[in-house]
Amino acid sequence: MTEKKIRNILFVCTGNTCRSPMAEAIAKRILSNEFSEHIFYISSCGTSAFEDQPASFEAVETMKKTGLDISGHRSRHVSENILENADIVFTMTESHKNILENIYKKQSSKVRILKEFANIKGTNNSFDIDDPVGMGPETYKLCSKELEDSIIKAVEKLRTGGLI
């Protein structure tokens, strides 16, 4: 990570229809509430995403219950250009991080596992945020909470480090 101020934040999951769009929406709310004087570009993509797919119904409904609207989200597949433009990249799992580091070696210094960066270990002693795809509303709600807790801690770490 460079010493410049972080303004472009990217969230990466697999299909870019559940976790990363939810993380994107949550981060936009947190950062706009806490840093209204700054302009941030927050986006998401997926390591195996099909282009232009909507967020999953369950993700849309889960976010709607928190007052966030991701119904207009359209998936993007990760690319060199997307990573190049990001100041920091937060992945949902260690495997996402490994994929990005192996394929996009020049961008690897800015890639972090979200929960590891936030220093929040899960119940399975892992930093991974499990994919809720195909699961019920309660799983999506838990995933949303896990994302929010992790993003709050990550933003605090960036703030105290003088990076935002």
Length of the chain: 164
Specify the 3-state DSSP secondary structure of 144. helix
Do 10 and 80 touch, CB atoms closer than 8 A?
A: no
Residue 130 catalytic? no
- Options 7, 29, 130, 131, the catalytic residue: 131
Residue 131 catalytic? yes
Q: CA 64, 75, 141, 136: dihedral to nearest 10 degrees?
A: 110
Alpha carbon separation from 78 to 9, 91, 128, 147 (Å, rounded) = 14, 12, 19, 20
What is residue 44's DSSP assignment? E
Residue 19 catalytic? yes
- Give the β-pairing of 41-46 and 111-113: unpaired
- Options 18, 19, 45, 128, the catalytic residue: 19
Q: What span, in angstroms and rounded, lies between the C-alpha atoms of 126 and 51? A: 29
Catalytic residues: 13, 19, 131
